[in-house]
Amino acid sequence: MQHSANFTVEMTSSLEERPIPEPGPGEVQVAIQSVGICGSDVHYWTNGSIGDFILRSPMVLGHESSGIISKLGPGVKHLAIGDRVALEPGVPCRMCEFCKKGRYNLCPEIQFLATPPVHGDLSRYHVHAADFCYKLPDHMSLDEGALLEPLAVGVHACTRGGITIGDKVLVCGAGPIGLVCMMTAKAMGADEVIVTDISDTRLAVAKSMGATHTLKVSGEPNDVARVVRSVLGSPPRVSVECSGAESSVKTAIYATKSGGMVLLVGMGAPEVQIPLPAHILAREVDIRGIFRYANSYPIALDMVASGRVDVKPLITHHFTLEETLQAFKTSKTGEGGAIKVMIHCLKK
């Protein structure tokens, strides 16, 4: 039975009662079940901005989500009421040159959940574009469906890096995004993946989830890079930087094989200094930016459904919608070894 009100949580930490949204043409109403807390959610909650994305009014958070179709808008044929779906949070214009070339993550008009001024879907009911909802197979849980969002980042990064069978890969940072990049690289055929971090606890998680090697960061970037090369036996062809820290970006550049590639996934300071002449130009190291994802959800879904990637160990904590404030505090502090905190919107 549908509730009479739609409850949402905003960055002011208030629980509000709002009208339940109705789906328009090409849209579906989704009873949201699982929402994972992303680092960007915590950043908006804490600082009110990420780079050029600045909150100017209260905003509902949440964009790693799954749920059950509760209403269909006119024209929706491929979904049915009761279908369990994962929601891809970025809906582009579908008309610009980027959309037409398949790079819709770069669409200047994209409406991405929980990115100012677009509200997120940390709520009991949400209306979303039907073509950005992906039906889950019966054996996949709704929590796994919510985790397709961070996994899609890993898929997009590893695809941009052309990671393939036999590659050696460095992943800098063992947070949730670093972990999904590591798992995706292995699923795409990487022979060895070394993961670096400053936390022993996170490195232990990375090892348990399939990292070939782990390395606690200590010393100057050049020194760390030498250790990476020594552990792997040769330089990584692809390095995936997931922390955003300047020292880590430098490590990735120093470590990468000549003619190889550095993928910048983590968002750190607006500007960082990088070793340009000797370590990028002279060695022809390519540097590629990674922004969200495009056409990655179907691959992420297949990876989880087939068992090639197991995202369940990422989830360490569960909360109800009414416990959202505690959920965010847990995610921010890492209390209890928190990696991925999941909020269940319709559970009491």
Could you report the per-residue pLDDT of 66-95, keeping only the tens digit for each?
999 999 999 999 999 999 999 999 999 999
Farthest-apart Cα atoms in the chain, separation? 65
- In a 13 Å sphere around the CA of 44, the CA atoms on its Cβ side amount to 28
Interval 149-169 mean pLDDT? 98
Does the pLDDT at position 152 exceed 50?
yes
Does the pLDDT at position 6 exceed 70?
no
Interval 142-160 mean pLDDT? 98
**Is the distance from CB of 116 to CB of 56 less than 8 angstroms?**
yes
Does the pLDDT at position 55 exceed 90?
no
Could you report the per-residue pLDDT of 174-199, keeping only the tens digit for each?
999 999 999 999 999 999 999 999 99
**Residue 328: strand, helix, or coil:** helix
**Is the distance from CB of 229 to CB of 256 less than 8 angstroms?**
no
* Mean pLDDT score across all residues of the chain: 94
Secondary structure element (H or E) that encloses residue 50, with its range: strand 49-50
Q: How far apart are CA 321 and CA 191, in angstroms?
A: 41
Does the pLDDT at position 9 exceed 70?
no
Does the pLDDT at position 4 exceed 80?
no
Q: Is the pTM of this model over 0.85?
A: yes
Which pLDDT score is estimated for 5? 59
Closest to 311 measured CA to CA, from 44, 99, 86 = 86
- The amino acid present at 140, given as its one-letter code, is M
Does the pLDDT at position 159 exceed 90?
yes
Q: How far apart are CA 80 and CA 68, in angstroms?
A: 10
Non-local CB neighbours of 322 within 8 Å, separated by 6+ positions: 15, 348
Comparing 38-42, 50-54, 118-122, 159-163, the range with the smallest average pLDDT is: 50-54
69 burial type by CB count under 10 A (0-12 exposed, 13-18 middle, 19+ buried): buried
**Is the distance from CB of 114 to CB of 163 less than 8 angstroms?**
no
Which pLDDT score is estimated for 173? 98
Query: Going from the N-terminus, what domains does the chain have, and what CATH number goes with each?
Result: 6-147+311-344 (3.90.180.10), 153-289 (3.40.50.720)
Q: Which residues pair with 171 in a beta bridge?
A: 195, 240
Which pLDDT score is estimated for 12? 54
Does the pLDDT at position 337 exceed 90?
yes
Does the pLDDT at position 261 exceed 80?
yes
**Is the distance from CB of 120 to CB of 59 less than 8 angstroms?**
yes
Does the pLDDT at position 7 exceed 90?
no
Q: How far apart are CA 242 and CA 265, in angstroms?
A: 5
Secondary structure element (H or E) that encloses residue 291, with its range: none
Confidence label for 348 from pLDDT (cuts 50, 70 and 90):
low
Which pLDDT score is estimated for 10? 45
**Residue 323: strand, helix, or coil:** helix
Interval 11-35 mean pLDDT? 91
Q: How far apart are CA 309 and CA 8, in angstroms?
A: 31
* β-bridge pairing 192-197 and 213-216: parallel
- The amino acid present at 177, given as its one-letter code, is I
How large a percentage of the chain has pLDDT more than 90? 87
